[in-house]
Structure 1
Amino acid sequence: MHSIFRWTTALILALGMAVTAHADDTAVQIRQHAADHRMLVLGEFHGTRETPLLVRELVDDYSRDGAPVLLALELPRAENSTLRDYLASDGGAAARQRLQSRAFWTVRDDQHDGRRSRDMLAMIEDLRALKAQGRVIDVVGYDVDNSDGGNQARDDRMAAELRRLYQRLPAGARMLVLTGNVHAMLQRPLGAPPEMQTQPMASLLRDLDIYSVRLGALRGQAWACADTCVARSLPEQGATGPRVDAHAGRQYDLWVWMPELSVGTLVEQ
């Protein structure tokens, strides 16, 4: 029995190390291509285990030399005071309870869209710990508190909030934006469904020092919503490395493919 337990524990640790190694590799690719751009927009598939690890790695790397880093998450702005309090806390049980008891984290309907995961909460805790060590890190939400007005109105308002945050960055600071991959588009693609916004969020920020990255994977699953929200398989890709786009009609500046994405641990509905 003890040997089985040790084997299982070793396997779990090995898998965790492999996921972290993939995050490290992808972070290196992104930093190399994004260079000195001050606003880095990461277009993700919601609800994966790997993306929060990647974001944590990027924030760690960018803040390591003392430079301020602002991480903007696709969370309602109403969560910002609670996020600020948590980042200033000791991360203890009372602080965790205050954060996780907020309405955003306690959705109980079928639109649990993947932004609410224990992986995201673990990432926020990791950043709190880095901040407690002296890193200059802040985490904010930039989403609207409700989606009245449709897709375009929401993207307009999110872009306006990101612009406001960007304009308030201190000298030498970098801003990372985690968002759904449609919001990260620099152009509306040809053949897009009619309900898609005419001007995605990132396209409204092209006059800023923005660099947009599409986070993909060669295989795996993510948490996606149509009529309901479920785990959905990603189409397998044949890409083997990052792809840089520079043409005027590009959707993203950079495409990266992680080896695999897996569904994270969603906050219980």
Structure 2
Amino acid sequence: MQETAAPEPTLTNEAFTAALKSPPEDVVKRCGAPIAGMDEVLTPGGILLLGELHGTREIPAFVGTLSCHVASAGVPVVVGLELPREEQRALRRYLKSRGDKQARASLTEGGFWRRPYQDGRSSEALVALVERLRVLRAQGLSMSVFTFDAPGQGSQRAAAMAHRVLEVRKTAPRSTFLLLGGNVNTRTARGTEWDETFTPMGWHLVRAKQPVRALDVRYSRGTAWTCNLVTGENQKLDCGATPATPPAARSRDKSIFRGPRAFVELTPEYTHEGYDGVFYVGPLTASPPAVAITGQPH
């Protein structure tokens, strides 16, 4: 992200928190209703990791609402997306565009958007999020977007992703960072159920002494656009809208699945995966690929 560093926020943490708790009427009109609990996890200059389920409408929309409220409170926002670095130039160009049909075509002309198997990261909802940030930026709010995905697999990829985040962080140390990524790499604790040696991106950011908060997604039943391996004589990926079932409630998880209203909830005991709490988005709706691929398997 080769842009001029955002100006440092001038308001205090207390004033920022108050603005998030009780935003004025014009901010609610612009951003939507405040998300309950967001004032407890957002700070000027902080990094919020949001561990998502790819391929839904609601989760990118949640990020857009958070971004709008933070920027409206007077703090520059930097949104990080789990997209390849090669897409950075197109994103930056789109944010400065008028958002017309030609600009959108240019945004999604890269190979990432046209892969044979679309796994949910190149969804219509992601494009809608970028468009929302473009509009807010055009209205005078301080918004920028960067990509932090990296080639490779496992811990090597996670380390490269963290390096990218830290690289961008140096250009805007006083901005609030909202990082949307898969809910394995946004953990801050080492190890998974399938690989005890795995070191996620979030762990590297904490080790680098960054002001990190990490939240895992929660939702009620719905659908998500995913790719699943179909086993048999000829193994293949099958992509499409599939049922999304909420994770089984953990004994120490205080989150309650309650209705359609989004909220954030800190859960201090929820430390096994290194999350500080959860963000809840209500029922999920699958978001199809932003670019329809002829012959797309689904």
TM over 0.5: yes
CA RMSD of aligned residues (A): 2.5
The count of corresponding residues between Structure 1 and Structure 2 is 240
Mapped to 2, the partners of 1:186 and 1:116 lie a distance apart of 25
Mapped to 1, the partners of 2:248 and 2:33 lie a distance apart of 18
- Give the corresponding residue for 2:55: 47
Mapped to 2, the partners of 1:258 and 1:197 lie a distance apart of 31
Shift of 1:116: 0.9
Mapped to 1, the partners of 2:245 and 2:169 lie a distance apart of 33
Q: Secondary structure at the match of 1:182?
A: coil
TM-score under structure 2 length normalisation: 0.73
Shift of 1:197: 6.0
Unmatched runs of 5 consecutive residues or more in structure 2: 1-30, 230-236, 250-254, 258-264, 294-298
CA deviation digits over 1:183-228, x for unaligned, max 9? 11111356x113x761111011112100001111132232334423
Shift of 1:24: 5.8
Q: Per the alignment, do residues 232 and 151 of structure 1 end up closer, same or farther by CA in structure 2, a change over 3 Å counting?
A: farther
**Mapping 1:114-153, distance limit 5 Å:** 114-144=120-150, 146-147=151-152, 150-153=153-156
Does structure 1 conserve the Cα–Cα contact (< 8 Å) formed by 2:41 and 2:213?
no
Unmatched runs of 5 consecutive residues or more in structure 1: 1-22
Shift of 1:236: 6.2
Does structure 1 conserve the Cα–Cα contact (< 8 Å) formed by 2:221 and 2:243?
no
Shift of 1:36: 5.1
Mapped to 2, the partners of 1:136 and 1:266 lie a distance apart of 28
TM-score under structure 1 length normalisation: 0.80
Mapped to 1, the partners of 2:244 and 2:51 lie a distance apart of 18
Mapped to 2, the partners of 1:25 and 1:253 lie a distance apart of 23
- Give the corresponding residue for 1:174: 176
- Give the corresponding residue for 2:105: 97
Shift of 1:158: 0.1
- Give the corresponding residue for 2:202: 202
Mapped to 2, the partners of 1:225 and 1:187 lie a distance apart of 26
**Mapping 1:184-203, distance limit 5 Å:** 184-189=186-191, 192-194=193-195, 198-203=198-203
Does structure 1 conserve the Cα–Cα contact (< 8 Å) formed by 2:187 and 2:203?
yes
* Aligned match for 2:245, one of 224, 234, 245: 234
Shift of 1:128: 0.5
Residue 255 of structure 1 aligns with an amino acid whose one-letter code is V
* Aligned match for 2:157, one of 132, 154, 164: 154
Q: Secondary structure at the match of 1:27?
A: coil
Does structure 2 conserve the Cα–Cα contact (< 8 Å) formed by 1:218 and 1:237?
no
